[in-house]
Homo-oligomer: A and B are copies of this chain.
Amino acid sequence: MEHRHMDGAQKSAPKKRKTSWKKDPAAVKEDILTVATEAFAAHGLSGANINEIAEKTSTSKRMIYYYFGDKEGLYRSVLERVYSSLRETEQALNVADLEPIMALRRLTEATFDSHVKNPQFIRLVMIENIHNAEYARKSDVIPTLNKAIIDKLADVCARGKASGVLRDDADPLELHWMTSSASFYNVSNKATFATSFGGRLFTTEGQKRIRERVVDMVLGAVVVDYRPRSGG
């Protein structure tokens, strides 16, 4: 193993601190978290290897324990970080000034796309579910994070019902469930699905069709007299 040069990044970026440490602690933490995220997403909690993680960081194993206590603590931090970063994506999307059906379409597409773009997040959520969400539940951030999307859907539902374009029994939570299930599964189960049925649905073309289908499904479930566009 060749020696890593840690000074390059140092001289060029001694920005935030009053004086410059040999290494910025915050940067070290971030470095560890980035590597650990990759590792946990790839191998799960028990499957990830602390020694391997340490080697891939620019610091040492000792520092992992210094900052995160133990493997579980590291995992929890990884989980919270990845959840938080996704919340930001969600909150960036603004549909308050769109007509309800269009807003729903946008939200659904955005959810679908963001899942495709964040397989690491998906994998970590899968892993968390294997553990019955015990670490997410312990967190005091995660359980409150995803409410933003529900609020948006609730707003859209309210407006849509008021104007009569959405069915009376449309429910924000159910809507989110529908969107999520399709979007999540599309990434999470790609491997086994392709193994059983071939990769046709996962080509660029296939994904385009699927995406449109998901929108149709969701809108079809809540829009009064929804007529999907035939052909794509």
User: CB < 8 Å: which of B133, B200, B221 contacts A228?
Assistant: B221
**Number of residues of chain A lying within 8 A (CB) of chain B:** 62
Q: Are A210 and B177 closer than 8 Å at their CB atoms?
A: yes
Q: Are A200 and B173 closer than 8 Å at their CB atoms?
A: yes
A221 cross-chain contacts in B, Cβ below 8 A: 213, 216-217, 220, 228
The answer to the question of A163 belonging to the interface, with a C-beta cut-off of 8 Å to chain B, is no
Q: Which of A26-34, A69-77, A121-129 contacts B (4 or more CB under 8 A)?
A: A121-129
| A132-B195 Cα distance, complex, nearest whole Å | 10
A47 cross-chain contacts in B, Cβ below 8 A: 44-47
* Copies of this chain: 2
A167 cross-chain contacts in B, Cβ below 8 A: 230
Q: Are B190 and A129 closer than 8 Å at their CB atoms?
A: yes
Q: Are B192 and A181 closer than 8 Å at their CB atoms?
A: no
Give the shortest distance, in Å, between A222 (CB) and chain B (any CB).
9
| A116-B5 Cα distance, complex, nearest whole Å | 53
Q: What would 17 A/B residue contacts be, using CB atoms closer than 8 Å?
A: A43-B130, A44-B44, A129-B191, A130-B130, A142-B195, A147-B196, A168-B230, A169-B231, A169-B232, A173-B197, A174-B209, A178-B182, A178-B213, A181-B186, A182-B182, A220-B221, A221-B228
